[in-house]
């Protein structure tokens, strides 16, 4: 008899909770409908299956560079250097060289001229020409994209050149109250230029494999994922996040 009474009480309590849970779901859906989605769909933007090559890499702090010089010169034996916050790399005895804002090819030319002048000033052959190779170490350390809004890991993520909107959202992770169907992509622009805001069709990307808005990401891009009302304590206890 006691067991039956306890079971009946549990059923009654559960029945009382069901309207509250349904009400929370309705409220969440209602708030989601009133969250705007910004941007336009631009079919001409690079995207999944239609990606483009990145422009020549521009070095910035804190990129790490691998250097090779042939033939070798005295007082210089470094193989890797880090671009410092002031934009310089420290070559040791040959001094500092400003490289921020230059491509790898431009840095090779600048270093060759700098080291040739140093070698000639310290007893080297003034007619000797140096061959300098500069490569990035560990990929693009100074190039990132950002995922903002209602995601599990808001912040910046390194970009290698083949990331898409889908990669970015999955890397950041969705929360129970994320609204990826309202997400949009913001591309940085110079002051005074027009906004570049692109609508993301999350349902199309996820459920239909539609690549139209699965845009290729470029350095500085911002993916914004809005969110609805956070789940209530009751919803959290029942597994709502």
CATH number, residue 105: 3.30.1950.10
Pull the structure tokens for residue 157.
């993520």
Name the domain boundary from 109, 136, 163.
136
3-class DSSP string for 205-227: HHHCCCCCCCEECCCCCEEEECE
For residue 31, the model assigns a pLDDT of 58
CB 87 within 8 A of CB 101: yes
Same domain? For 41 and 80 the reply is no
For residue 5, the model assigns a pLDDT of 52
Is residue 25 domain-resident? Answer: no
For residue 10, the model assigns a pLDDT of 52
Same domain? For 219 and 187 the reply is yes
Alpha-helical regions (H) of 35-193: 104-121, 165-172
Pull the structure tokens for residue 54.
């990145």
Same domain? For 108 and 149 the reply is no
Same domain? For 43 and 157 the reply is yes
Same domain? For 192 and 124 the reply is no
Is residue 3 domain-resident? Answer: no
> How far is residue 215's CA from residue 200's CA, in Å, rounded to a whole number?
8
For residue 130, the model assigns a pLDDT of 95
For residue 241, the model assigns a pLDDT of 47
- Rounded to 5 degrees, φ, ψ at 111 are -65, -40
Same domain? For 118 and 178 the reply is no
Is residue 28 domain-resident? Answer: no
The CA-based angle 203-170-36, given to 5 degrees, is 45
Same domain? For 103 and 149 the reply is no
* 85 to 63, 98, 124: CA distances (angstroms): 10, 11, 32
Return per-residue pLDDT of the chain as tens, 241 residues: 554 554 555 545 445 544 544 454 545 555 566 788 899 999 999 999 999 999 899 999 999 999 999 999 988 988 999 999 999 999 999 999 999 999 999 999 999 999 999 999 988 888 889 999 999 997 668 999 999 999 999 999 999 889 999 999 999 999 999 999 999 999 999 898 899 999 999 999 999 999 999 999 999 999 999 998 876 655 555 554 4
For residue 210, the model assigns a pLDDT of 98
Is residue 153 domain-resident? Answer: yes
For residue 131, the model assigns a pLDDT of 96
| Boundaries of domain holding 48 | 34-54+143-235
CB 241 within 8 A of CB 232: no
Same domain? For 154 and 180 the reply is yes
Which residue is it, tokens 């910035």?
A: 60
Is residue 240 domain-resident? Answer: no
Is residue 110 domain-resident? Answer: yes
Name the domain boundary from 73, 103, 136.
136
Same domain? For 151 and 129 the reply is no
Same domain? For 47 and 149 the reply is yes
Write the CATH number for 171: 3.10.560.10
For residue 14, the model assigns a pLDDT of 46
CB 115 within 8 A of CB 93: no
CB 101 within 8 A of CB 58: yes
Identify the DSSP state of 101.
Answer: T
Number of domains in the chain: 2
Pull the structure tokens for residue 179.
């609204």
Full-prediction pTM beyond 0.85?
no
Name the domain boundary from 118, 136, 154.
136
Same domain? For 229 and 152 the reply is yes
Same domain? For 107 and 226 the reply is no
Is residue 165 domain-resident? Answer: yes
Is residue 114 domain-resident? Answer: yes
């Amino acid at each position: 008899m006691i067991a039956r009474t306890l079971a009946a009480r549990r059923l009654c309590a559960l029945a009382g909770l069901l309207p509250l849970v349904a009400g929370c779901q309705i409220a969440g859906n209602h708030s989601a409908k009133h969250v705007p989605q910004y941007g336009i769909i631009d079919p001409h933007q690079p995207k999944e299956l239609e990606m483009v090559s990145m422009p020549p890499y521009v070095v910035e702090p804190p990129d790490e560079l691998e250097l090779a010089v042939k033939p070798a010169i005295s007082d210089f034996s470094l193989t890797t250097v880090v671009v410092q916050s002031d934009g310089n790399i420290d070559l040791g005895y040959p001094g500092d060289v400003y490289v921020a804002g230059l491509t790898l090819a431009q840095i090779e030319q600048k270093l060759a001229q700098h080291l040739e002048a140093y070698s000639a000033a310290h007893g080297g052959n003034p007619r000797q020409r140096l061959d300098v190779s500069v490569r990035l170490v560990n990929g693009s350390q100074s190039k990132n994209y950002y995922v903002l809004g209602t995601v599990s890991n808001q912040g910046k993520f390194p970009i290698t050149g083949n990331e898409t909107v889908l990669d970015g959202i999955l890397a950041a992770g969705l929360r129970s109250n994320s609204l990826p169907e309202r997400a949009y992509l913001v591309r940085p622009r110079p002051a005074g230029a027009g906004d570049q805001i692109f609508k993301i069709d999350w349902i199309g990307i996820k459920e239909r494999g539609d690549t139209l808005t699965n845009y290729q990401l470029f350095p500085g891009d911002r993916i914004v994922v809005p969110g609805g009302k956070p789940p209530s304590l009751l919803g959290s206890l029942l597994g709502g996040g």
